[in-house]
Amino acid sequence: MGFEQELERARSLVEARLGAFFPGDGLEEAMRYSLLAGGKRIRPILTMKFCQAAGGTMEEALDFGCGVEMLHTYSLIHDDLPCMDNDDLRRGRPTNHKVYGECVATLAGDALQAAAFRTVLSAGGKSSFRIGPARALAAEILAEAAGEGGMCGGQYLDTLGDGQPHTLEELTAINDRKTGALLRAACRMGVAATMDGMGVDASWDDWMAAAGEYATNLGLAFQIQDDILDATSTAQELGKPIGSDAANQKTTYVTLLGVEACREKVRDYTERAKAVLSRTSWAGETGFLLELADRLAVRRS
C-alpha cells in the first residue's frame, strides 16, 4: 500500500470514529462543529502509526488518537477566542465563538478537554473503573502535554508581553510547548497502546524515547513551516487569516531569520526527526512516518 492509500485509510478511521461522538444538540452541537471541521488529523494518525511501529495495529490506538484530537480541538477553540488570538476564521469556516458566542465556545472547549480523557480511559469500549496500564499511561502522557508544562504553559508564555520581541531560544521554548508537547503525546501514546497486548521489554523504552524525539523535531519543523506559510501564503490556501502575527507585532521564526533561513531549518529538523527513527530498531514498519515528515516539510496549508 502506498503512502497516500495508507494516509487515507488512517484518516478515514479517525473521521468515522470522531463522527460517532457528540450526536446531540446544544453544547454537543458546538463541540461537534469544531471537532468535525476537517483538518489533517496528523496527531491521531501519528498515534496509530507509532502503535504500528511498536508492533500493534492502528485500531488498537484509534481511541487514544481521537482523545488527542479532542484535546487539540479544544485548544484551537480557546486560541481563537477574543481574549487569545481573536481569530474569525478556522479551516475555512467561522470560528466557534463567531457561530455560537464566546460563552458557548469556551464551554465547548472545556467539554472537549474532559471528553478527551474519558475517551482515552474508556478506549476500546472498556470500563474506566478498571484501568489497564496502557490507558493509565496514555492518560498521564496526555495530561502532561495539556497542562502547565505543556500547551497551557506554552500559551501562557506566548501571551506574556504581547508585542515584545523574543529571542530565538525563547521562541523555540514556547513553540516546543504549544506545538511539540501534544505531538510528543500523540506519538508516545501510540507506543503506550501496545502495553496491554505486548508488555514492556528493553526495546519499549527505546521506542518511547525515539517517539518523543521524533515528535520534538517534527513539531519544530511544523511550526516554522506555519510561520513561513503565514508570511508567504494566502487566506484561501490556509483556510484561516494570514499576517495576524505581524499585525500583532509577534515574534516569529520568519521575523527573526527570514524565509530562506527558515526553510533550511525546516529541512534540518525534518532530517533529525527521520534520523531518530532510522537508528532505532522497531517491531513494525516506519516507512510511513519517514514519508510523513517529508510531506509536512513542504506542505502548503
Task: Note the pLDDT of residue 242.
Answer: 61
pLDDT > 70: what percent of the chain? 91
Query: pLDDT digits over 162-213, tens only?
Result: 667 889 999 999 999 999 999 999 999 999 999 877 666 768 899 999 999 9
pLDDT digits (tens, 9 = 90+) for 204-250: 899 999 999 999 999 999 999 999 998 887 666 565 566 666 656 68
Determine the structural domain holding residue 150 and report its residue range.
3-297
CA atoms within 13 A on the CB side of 176: 13
Could you write out the DSSP letters of every residue in 255-284? HHH-HHHHHHHHHHHHHHHHHHHHTS--SS
pLDDT one-digit tens code per residue, 58-99: 999 999 999 999 999 999 999 999 998 899 999 889 999 999
Summarised one tens digit per residue, pLDDT across range 117-163 is: 999 999 987 766 678 889 999 999 999 999 999 999 999 988 886 66
pLDDT at 178: 92
Give the count of domains, the chain: 1
Residue 299's identity, in one-letter code, is R
Q: Identify the residue whose cell numbers are 495508507.
A: 6
Q: Of 204, 187, 211, which is closest to residue 64 (Cα–Cα)? A: 187
Cell numbers describing residue 73: 480541538
Average pLDDT, the chain: 92
Report pLDDT for 91. Answer: 87
Residue 164 CB neighbour total at 10 angstroms: 9
Model pTM score: 0.94
CATH of the domain at 47: 1.10.600.10
Cell numbers found for residue 252: 516569529
Which runs of E-coded beta strand occur in the chain? 89-90, 93-94
User: Is 279 a residue whose pLDDT tops 70?
Assistant: yes
Q: Give the pLDDT score at 286.
A: 97
Are 207 and 54 spatial neighbours (Cβ–Cβ below 8 Å)? Answer: yes
Angle in degrees, CA 77, 81, 84, rounded to 5: 110
Q: What are phi and psi of 283, to 5 degrees?
A: -75, -25
Specify burial of residue 200 (Cβ count, 10 A radius: 0-12, 13-18, 19+). middle
The reported pLDDT for the residue numbered 246 is 60
